[in-house]
Amino acid sequence: MSSKEKKSVTILTESQLSSRAFKDEAYEFYKELRKSQPLYPLSLGSLGKGWLISRYDDAIHLLKNEKLKKNYENVFTAKEKRPALLKNEESLTKHMLNSDPPDHNRLRTLVQKAFTHRMILQLEDKIQHIADSLLDKVQPNKFMNLVDDYAFPLPIIVISEMLGIPLEDRQKFRVWSQAIIDFSDAPERLQENDHLLGEFVEYLESLVRKKRREPAGDLISALIQAESEGTQLSTEELYSMIMLLIVAGHETTVNLITNLTYALMCHQDQLEKLRQQPDLMNSAIEEALRFHSPVELTTIRWTAEPFILHGQEIKRKDVIIISLASANRDEKIFPNADIFDIERKNNRHIAFGHGNHFCLGAQLARLEAKIAMSTLLRRCPNIQLKGEKEQMKWKGNFLMRALEELPLSF
């Protein structure tokens, strides 16, 4: 691209990336970026200058690049550090998603034993019971909003029980989660989100006090034990880790279940194929992860050392954001990338990330989606979209590809 062409490029803002209009047109936009502008300039307000990555090979390379840091303290000097945008920021950001080795390894080790293959398989009967119970409530009505009635409650019940938190609080988690993943520094949004995050911090403080008095065999009690030993987990890290597990423990799965169902409703030939060949469910889940990636954009990475990419210098303190959704539609990696094909072979998608920060709960999300979808198709064989697919609306959200609702009749 010539210097003249570079000057003509429109710089995207975070508010544009977060808009519903962008979500509606994103895949066509990404396709053009992969062809001619694989490194696209962003203006991220108080976070500064950024770059959007759209190609698969670049994504793989950068997700493992040690010049990129998740913890901005590993990039900025004391004088350069930006002031906290939110009063409660410090209490909710000291988690493994925002950390680099060796801190990242220490934090991940504290929770990864709860997400081993053996531990996840032990949840199968529990997840099946939850799926059946949720469908018992809506089946007599012959109608449901998949998001509210099924895709959201299933994973939030599972992670709540794993963590040892009251199920009656799950609707609060939904509001708080949205405040956390709603990336914006618009003054009115900041004020609202800060208020909600303040509520979340107060909730966590109360929850931890109770768990200290009455420890149990749950994950939060185990984390409190690690915090009490001093060297393994600070108080801020404890609150941040609980927050991350609550949010990440359900947000991705809600979108996976919803987006898989939506893709099947929009591709009736694939739905019929899955009905005829239920053993294709695992493959269908992987294709949904690729086709409508639940996490559309990664959280930010800071450039610690300058480097060159596609002839452009990426400077120290620049922000890198990777479009997992675009990488998973890269034509050079996935033949017929815009076709939803539940029999796709060699599906090397990166919907759960890549490298050190590969999603710890990927196996749990896959199991929840498999049980949820298999149960839905078995119990509601005549399920169909209520309304036109063009009427379905993607949420205006920076990180996620999430439908506002998905009305179904059966």
pLDDT for position 6: 42
Instruction: Using the predicted structure, report yes or no on whether residue 85 has a pLDDT greater than 60.
Output: no
pLDDT for position 2: 37
Q: In the block, which residue shows the tokens 């009905």?
A: 275
pLDDT for position 1: 38
Give this prediction's pTM: 0.92
Distance CA 198, CA 176 (A): 10
Distance CA 85, CA 64 (A): 28
Q: What letter represents residue 371's amino acid?
A: I
pLDDT for position 132: 98
Q: In the block, which residue shows the tokens 């000097």?
A: 77
More confidently predicted of 188 and 116: 116
Least confident among 12-21, 77-86, 300-309? 77-86
Q: In the block, which residue shows the tokens 């954001």?
A: 321
Q: Which domains does the chain have, with CATH numbers?
A: 3-409 (1.10.630.10)
What value does the mean pLDDT take over residues 363-376? Answer: 98
**Which tokens belong to 107?**
């934090």
**Is 334 exposed, middle or buried (CB count within 10 Å of its CB: 0-12, 13-18, 19+)?**
buried
Least confident among 111-120, 152-161, 165-174, 198-207? 165-174
pLDDT tens for 178-192 read 877 776 666 677 778
What value does the mean pLDDT take over residues 329-356? Answer: 97
Distance CA 12, CA 18 (A): 10
Distance CA 218, CA 138 (A): 30
| Percent of the chain topping pLDDT 70 | 93
Task: Note the residue count of the chain.
Answer: 410
Q: Regarding beta strands 12-13 and 39-43, do their DSSP bridges make them parallel or antiparallel, or are they unpaired? A: parallel
Tell me the CA end-to-end span of the chain in Å, nearest whole number: 52
Helices 235-248 and 219-228 cross at an angle (nearest 10°) of 160
Give the count of alpha carbons within 13 A of 87, CB side only. 12
More confidently predicted of 191 and 51: 51
pLDDT for position 157: 94
**Is 85 exposed, middle or buried (CB count within 10 Å of its CB: 0-12, 13-18, 19+)?**
middle
What value does the mean pLDDT take over residues 98-126? Answer: 92
Q: Regarding beta strands 301-303 and 312-314, do their DSSP bridges make them parallel or antiparallel, or are they unpaired? A: unpaired
Distance of CA 321 to the CA centre of its chain: 14
pLDDT for position 79: 83
pLDDT for position 86: 59
Rounded to the nearest integer, the mean pLDDT of the chain is 91
Q: What letter represents residue 373's amino acid?
A: M
Give the pLDDT band of residue 385 (cuts 50, 70, 90). Answer: very high
State the Rg of the chain over Cα: 21
Q: What are the two backbone dihedrals, phi and then psi, of residue 374, each rounded to the nearest 5 degrees?
A: -60, -40
**Which tokens belong to 35?**
């062809």
More confidently predicted of 28 and 194: 28
**Which tokens belong to 158?**
């599972």
pLDDT for position 330: 98
**Is 194 exposed, middle or buried (CB count within 10 Å of its CB: 0-12, 13-18, 19+)?**
middle
How far is CA 174 from each of CA 165, 275, 377, rounded to the nearest angstrom? 14, 32, 26
What value does the mean pLDDT take over residues 331-352? Answer: 97
Q: In the block, which residue shows the tokens 């929840």?
A: 368
pLDDT tens for 262-282 read 999 999 999 999 999 999 999
Instruction: Using the predicted structure, report yes or no on whether residue 372 has a pLDDT greater than 50.
Output: yes
Distance CA 96, CA 357 (A): 8
Least Cα distance to 243 among 165, 301, 311, 325 occurs for 165
Instruction: Using the predicted structure, report yes or no on whether residue 4 has a pLDDT greater than 60.
Output: no
pLDDT tens for 183-221 read 666 667 777 888 888 898 899 999 999 999 999 989 999
